[in-house]
Chain A
Amino acid sequence: MMEMTHKQRILAVARGEMVDKLPFGARIDTWYNFHSAHGTLPDKYKGWSQTDIMADQGAGAQKRFFSICKERFHEMEVVIKKDGDWETREYITPVGTASIKLLWSTNEGPWLAYEHEKLFKSAKDYLVVKYILEHTEPYFNDDYTQERADMGERGIVMTGTGLWCPPQRIMREIMGYELFYQEMMDNEDQVAELIDVMAELELKKLKIAIDSPLELINLCANWSDDIHTPVFQRFFTPYFKKANEMIHAAGKLSMVHTDGEMRRLLRFFPETDNDVGEAVTPKPQTSLSMTEFKKGYGEKVAIWGGISSIMFEPNYSNQEFDEHVISLIKEMAPGKGFIVGMADNLPFDGDINRVGRVVDLIEKYGKLPVWV
């Protein structure tokens, strides 16, 4: 019988099936983007793609691709100015002007910009931000087709409508957490209306994602307990339920990037109907153990992650690293519903060869079912 490919194994586990051994979907873009930008990739890997490097290490690939959608803006002028690593975008609309200032920094990987100045700065911006969202039209991003072809069976192109779900976009991208919570104290109805308008846009993008070949749709990144549970229950859960209704009706799966401290949010996860919790980050980087995560996510959810990023750092020895991974495998016994992965990335000074160490440890300890 032919061995499963990395992609097949990951998707089978995401569907709740039992496989021959633990899949490993490795994510190295922080390390790769930093070293590519600085010309410091190891000699062996100079000129290689991320996916080729992960394949060389023997791992399945988990490659981030920002969004399966691009956006057009109607009935407004969008002016983009660049100054070195800085980019300012000004949205000039009939109801007002709003701007954002982005920093494209190789510290974060050059594919991700840091919003130094958010689009929403005060209550006077509700009208113009609402206008921008209502006049944004998403369409399919052709670049995904090439990414998917390049990846082949070697792993998963991790993508969806974008990085975040509607309330998270308002909280993180549009307002910033602190201003969001200040506005929830002062202008709650207007915040709720903005989230509704964002949801309409994101559901249009979701339709595009569902109609694409994408099997596993990433719905929202960066869950953490800073998403106040009343906010989560009021805004996040209903969106996830609606999105998963659409996704599951199409025979597809959903995934969320839950890489933060999840002590308070974990118990709400099963209500969201999400299929995969990815970048699950245990101790020592958060307060929860994998056992607690297993219990909290429940049997219907596949867990992807488990190896805290910091374990790849040089201040942990190879022995400590191996012990962490072996302990992880044993803790996740018998192993069904678990995809080994980084939580959430290989850090810039991490040892790329530890990716290969994980592969070897899975061969030795990760055949399913895992016996303890």
Chain B
Amino acid sequence: MIDYSQLSQAVTNGEWKRTPELTQAILSAGAKPVDIIFNALQPGMEVVGEKYSSGEYYLPDMLKASRAMNLAMETLKPFIADTAVTKLGKVALATVKNDMHDIGKNIVCSFLRGVGFDVIDLGCNVAEDKFAETVRSEKPDIVGLSALLTTTMYEIGTVVKKLESEGLRGQVKVMAGGAPVTERFALQMGADAYARDGGEAVRVAKRLVGK
């Protein structure tokens, strides 16, 4: 019986110097890489998300945990085929047009990747055309929109309208967030859901893909 808890806890605690050796030890004990990801790494990051949302964890805690997870994944990489790991879903994420702030978006990317979503990070200052093009080509389950300014948050509505006019709206769920964005505003702009922070983004994204 393989014990994944130590590795999972190390991810949650951000013990990035320990996770490679712990990962190697579990591999040596006969665990499959996919099982290590599902039973140790992703659960560890889920807890990080919960702690972040609850106010127990900060940005640096999340960064340490992400590093811990990424170093574990690096250890597993030689043993994983690309198709071996089933993803929870695909999310295309960006900060909207005329907005150069990326920290919130980066945090959400890290959390979503950490729990098993396939994340396409489109960057900052992304116009509605690019979102439409991405939905057409990459077929994400979710489009995530981040806006950090009151002058740019209306771009959330612009993206939704673009998806509607291109006949793409029904293919994808839209999740929005950012400092000036509230749930009320996000829904008024036509988003399907609002996420206050990276931890909440995980819960919302899972709900949107029915997991």
Instruction: Point out residues on A near B: beta carbons under 8 Å.
Output: 30, 34, 103, 105, 107-108, 114, 116, 176-178, 181-182, 184-185, 225-226, 228-229, 231, 263-264, 284-285, 287, 309-310, 313, 315, 347-350
Contact = CB atoms under 8 A, between A and B. Distances in A.
B156 to A, nearest CB: 12
A107 B59 contact: no
A107 B99 contact: yes
Given A108-B149, A315-B188, 5 more contacts: A185-B63, A264-B55, A285-B180, A310-B150, A310-B180
Given A116-B100, A310-B180, A181 B151 contact: no
B180 A347 contact: yes
A177 B151 contact: no
A107 B103 CA distance: 18
Contacts of A34: 151
Interface of B is mostly: loop
Contacts of A182: 63, 67
A348 B150 CA distance: 7
A4 to B, nearest CB: 32
Given A107-B152, A114-B100, A263 B63 contact: no
B151 A30 contact: yes
A264 B58 contact: yes
Contacts, number: 73
A193 B98 CA distance: 36
A349 B179 CA distance: 16
A31 B61 CA distance: 36
A309 B60 contact: no
B203 interface: no
21 contacts: A30-B150, A103-B100, A105-B98, A107-B152, A177-B59, A177-B103, A178-B59, A178-B63, A178-B106, A181-B59, A181-B60, A182-B67, A225-B55, A226-B59, A228-B59, A285-B182, A309-B150, A315-B184, A347-B150, A347-B180, A348-B151
Instruction: Give the size range of B's interface with the partner.
Output: 20 to 34
A276 B135 CA distance: 48
B64 interface: yes
Nearest to B124: A116
B185 interface: yes
Nearest to A259: B179
Interface in B129-155: 149-152, 154
B111 interface: no
Interface string B6-20: 000000000010000
A241 to B, nearest CB: 23
Contacts of A349: 150-151, 154
